[in-house]
Structure 1
Amino acid sequence: MSFYSRHPKEVQIIAGFALIKLFIHLLSNSHYGFHRDELLYMAMSEHLDWGYKEVPPFIAGISWFSYTVFGDSVFAMRILPSLASALIVFMTGLFVLAMNGRTFSIVAACAAMVISPSFLASGYLLQPVVFDQLFWVLSAYFMVKHLQTRKTNYIYLLGVSVGLGMLTKYTMALFVIALIGGLLISPQRKVLLNKDWLMAFAIAFIIFLPNLIWQLSHGMPVISHMNELKASQLDYIDPLSTFTQLFITHASASVVWLSGLIYLFFTKSNSRYIFITYAFILVVILLLAFNGKVYYSFGAFPMLFAAGGICMQKVMGSITPPLRYGAVCLILAPSLLLIPIVVPILSFRSTLRFFEFTTSNGLEFPVKWEDQGTHDTTQDYADMLGWEEIAKHASTAYQKIPTEERAKTTLITDNYGQAGAIMHFSNK
């Protein structure tokens, strides 16, 4: 009997929430313009390679595929990230089923994932972050399925997921360390004695090997990049502020993942999954120790949202369904107020008025940039504006150069956003 045949109703509900998530992003994806980082990754797609200074090659391949299949509009370039974001919600629902959750647990977990400002903000831009989250979720899911079934194919799938994750963002290494550490601390540590883990490691290593070779052959530019990032941004991050943001960025949906964290730590019925709690704690410790940005940890949350849905089922099991679902709506409703902050659903003028209102009422975190200053809009929204105008000005200046000198002319830009904008809009 197929998986769908055993859980038709549950799978349909999970798919429904994934489609809601996809609809939210497709509805707003064409608003504003390309993000600064998107222009970088689109430029990379014109120079495909096994590595780059800033990131592994996966995002360049995704950008190339999007351009080839869907075109180069803002909406088109955000289709695949939006699909990946919806798939994360779907995997969260499957997580609930894997831990023996029922319909209400699925609704609570998936609704929280859909409405979480963290996953709304990181789920639509053409950036590595959403694909990084997806491979974290897949890796944790395959680990849980192996613990359930002891089937070795899940170990091999875990190896594939880790390998692809390493080609997406090097933070996958952090999650692997946390997962292994969580298992070593938990009573499930004996599963690591299986020799098939060596095969999983080999699979992950072979997938990641081309990028490793590229890094070695180019003098490990990732090290110089991380040193630059540390000096310009990470050294200014306050660990206490980062810890606080773990809760703020999910808004009221934090109630669900916190419930999952507590539930897995104290429950006996699902004690074999306590490694998830340990792994999450290790992710947070590593994040704070290395002054990482809060979004580096987002991929570790879906497994806690899944456990939180099960916890809420346990706590509210004796309440009548209407009251039970109503309670979930009340818990998550405040997060709805933050949607304009994280997804460009409003016009820019309306968005500025919204930020003016929220800032005047004490909510300054969304408009606090990496320079630690408070601005009129979020850094992501600001990074979606003005690129075509910059390209027009550059084109105007270029046209004033005598024709015989243009072939010998090089345009020097201040950052990769400007360079990417000139490359992208040059045909216009």
Structure 2
Amino acid sequence: MVNMSSSQDLARSIWRPHLLIIFFGILKLLIHLIALKGYGYHADEIYYVELGKEWQWGFPDISPFVTWIAHVSNLLFGSSLTGYRILPCLFSAATVVITGYMTYFLGGKRLAITIACSAIICSPAFLATSYLLQPAVFDEFFWALLSFALIAYHKSRKTSFLWLTAAALAFGILNKYSILLLAFSALIAWLICGQRTHVPHWKKLLPPALVFLLILAPHIAWQIEQGFPIFKFTAEVAKTNFDVDLSDYLLQLFFFHGASVAVWSAGLIFLITNPKSKEYLFLGIASLMVIAVLSVLKGKLYYGLGLFPLLFANGGYCWERMLNHFKTAYQVTFTGMLYVFALLSLPVVIPIFSVNGNQFYLSEMVRLTGFSRPLRYEDGSYGKMPQFFADMTDWEHLTTRVAAVSRQPGTFGKASVILTNDYAIAGALKHYGNAALPLVISARNSFLNQSPKNLDQHTIIYLTKSTGLDILLIADQVTLMDTIYSKNSHINGIRIYRLSFPSKAFKQQYARDRLMFVKS
């Protein structure tokens, strides 16, 4: 009986951390299922959904993985907003699970796993990016998976984790090239730390390396065929991207994680200073390098969000070692504060209220706290709701207004195409428009593949926010047909023009815009 009881206790102790980790993964999933539809499609989501209708190995302005997810989601769940968001939610839940297992591999017990998983669940930055069909949620997953694979290999020396490293890095690149920042930072930090004695034999490295190249081969071939548009796009973004000053980046770094900042900052310090974990020091240095590079390059917080599961895992382990010296009440209070702050910030990052309810909540938040940064838009202006909420509104309304204009005959007949340089507007018109809507074309994004090489039509509908004399020079006859006014929306201020016989300069500009990303 004693032996049987001991065996049962041993079995429970083995399975307990795994069940705890799975519990937090399910909790993360349930949080996002409560408001999956939100206010509608986000601007980026419509773009990826439309691009995902055809399986492609690459695009001029994005990596293809997110469009593959859109394609698979459509096959599995149908063409609905809820269907397109299920897989992102599952990936975000998997990221929580990976965070838990990183903590476990570091030596963390129940409290460490609880703190680490709670920190990533309760971080407003992760709450905001965990349910949308965007590269960010998959970026977080692959960064976390790569970090876990490196930790697991250093701990076990099992070749299987080298395979996992190769797969995580390859698919991470297919999602966003930014994962290379983590990979190169980790490699440089590893060399700095002088851990070359732990290099696997080349025979162990060769098969995972071949798998890595095999996964990337079709995409690399596409880039070569197209003349490496990724470099052209990156150069263009560098010219036009809104500046993010260092102080604002640091503000996002320390405040957009809410109370979870206490966990990730402890994890970073612990990684660098803990003498008992010298084998992971290179990950601490790599983390500092990633943060420093993003600061210098004026990056945005979500560019490096995938770094934080690693820091949360180490932070959970660090806090466990400190809180074990205190009573259980202190441990519960510490963890509880993470959830209290998350509840207060929930309406700011997940659309659980109506649009009016959300605006009221945020106005009261600003009035009581004076903290208005969540309402700041990329162009420096301030709205009544966060920009990523505003980018979910009025797409069907826009399509209705454009369709009405397209039905109106002009002096030289109806327009045969609709032109816009805005990827989100083009995506919305393609998504919500019916067969009667003229062909939607765009030259400064991946829709250029579905657009004619030259602008030969004599009558077109043109959507832009441009006004003044310049707009009058782009065609022989320029008629303002409608203007969209929609407060706190992506489409506010959009003007719908009908152009009759576009000018030679306008046609040449269209052709140059196409050649900006592709060879022909």
| Bin for the TM-score computed over the shorter chain | over 0.9
1:52 to 59, 63, 81: 59
Report the CA distance shift for 1:5/1:48 in structure 2 as closer, same or farther (over 3 A): farther
Mapping of 1:266-345 within 5 angstroms? Answer: 266-345=273-352
Does residue 12 (structure 1) correspond to residue 19 (structure 2)? The answer is yes
Moved more, 198-207 or 62-71: 198-207
Superposed displacement of residue 68, structure 1: 1.4
Superposed displacement of residue 160, structure 1: 1.1
Secondary structure (helix, strand or coil) at the match of 1:7 reads helix
Map Cα deviations across residues 149-204 of structure 1 (whole Å, 9 max, x no partner).
11122112111111111111010111111121222222534333531334433322
2:216 counterpart residue number: 208
Paired letter, 2:80: S
> Contact 1:263 / 1:307 at 8 angstroms: preserved in 2?
yes
Does residue 375 (structure 1) correspond to residue 383 (structure 2)? The answer is yes
Mapping of 1:75-154 within 5 angstroms? Answer: 75-154=82-161
Map Cα deviations across residues 273-316 of structure 1 (whole Å, 9 max, x no partner).
22221111111122123222221110011011011111111101
Identify which of structures 1 and 2 has the higher relative contact order when contacts are C-alpha pairs closer than 8 Å and 6+ apart: 1
Give, in whole Å, the separation in 1 of the partners of 2:432 and 2:14: 49
> Contact 2:122 / 2:338 at 8 angstroms: preserved in 1?
no
Paired letter, 1:347: S
2:429 counterpart residue number: 422
Count of residue correspondences: 424
Percent identity for Structure 1 against Structure 2: 30
Give, in whole Å, the separation in 2 of the partners of 1:167 and 1:249: 27
1:386 counterpart residue number: 394
Give, in whole Å, the separation in 2 of the partners of 1:304 and 1:74: 32
What TM-score results when the alignment is normalised by the length of structure 2? Answer: 0.78
2:258 to 218, 239, 251: 251
1:217 to 180, 201, 225: 225
2:165 counterpart residue number: 158
Superposed displacement of residue 47, structure 1: 3.0
Does residue 70 (structure 1) correspond to residue 77 (structure 2)? The answer is yes
Give, in whole Å, the separation in 2 of the partners of 1:239 and 1:192: 37
2:518 counterpart residue number: none
Give, in whole Å, the separation in 2 of the partners of 1:191 and 1:198: 16
Paired letter, 1:72: S
> Contact 1:233 / 1:370 at 8 angstroms: preserved in 2?
no
Report the CA distance shift for 1:227/1:5 in structure 2 as closer, same or farther (over 3 A): farther
1:409 counterpart residue number: 416
Paired letter, 2:91: A
Q: Which has the larger radius of gyration?
A: 2
Give, in whole Å, the separation in 2 of the partners of 1:180 and 1:405: 62
What is the CA RMSD across the aligned residues, in angstroms? 2.2
Give, in whole Å, the separation in 1 of the partners of 2:13 and 2:208: 29
Give, in whole Å, the separation in 2 of the partners of 1:126 and 1:104: 32
Superposed displacement of residue 46, structure 1: 1.9
Report the CA distance shift for 1:173/1:261 in structure 2 as closer, same or farther (over 3 A): same
> Contact 1:181 / 1:282 at 8 angstroms: preserved in 2?
no
> Contact 1:187 / 1:272 at 8 angstroms: preserved in 2?
no
1:186 counterpart residue number: 193
Superposed displacement of residue 424, structure 1: 1.1
Superposed displacement of residue 372, structure 1: 1.6
Give, in whole Å, the separation in 1 of the partners of 2:287 and 2:201: 23
Give, in whole Å, the separation in 1 of the partners of 2:371 and 2:341: 14
Give, in whole Å, the separation in 1 of the partners of 2:82 and 2:371: 30
> Contact 1:239 / 1:291 at 8 angstroms: preserved in 2?
yes
What TM-score results when the alignment is normalised by the length of structure 1? Answer: 0.94
Give, in whole Å, the separation in 2 of the partners of 1:412 and 1:370: 24
Map Cα deviations across residues 91-139 of structure 1 (whole Å, 9 max, x no partner).
0000111111100101111111111011101111101111111111111
Structure with greater strand percent: 2
Give, in whole Å, the separation in 1 of the partners of 2:142 and 2:359: 35
Report the CA distance shift for 1:50/1:376 in structure 2 as closer, same or farther (over 3 A): same
> Contact 1:96 / 1:310 at 8 angstroms: preserved in 2?
yes
Give, in whole Å, the separation in 2 of the partners of 1:329 and 1:340: 19
Moved more, 264-273 or 374-383: 264-273
Superposed displacement of residue 414, structure 1: 4.3
Secondary structure (helix, strand or coil) at the match of 1:56 reads coil
Report the CA distance shift for 1:380/1:266 in structure 2 as closer, same or farther (over 3 A): same
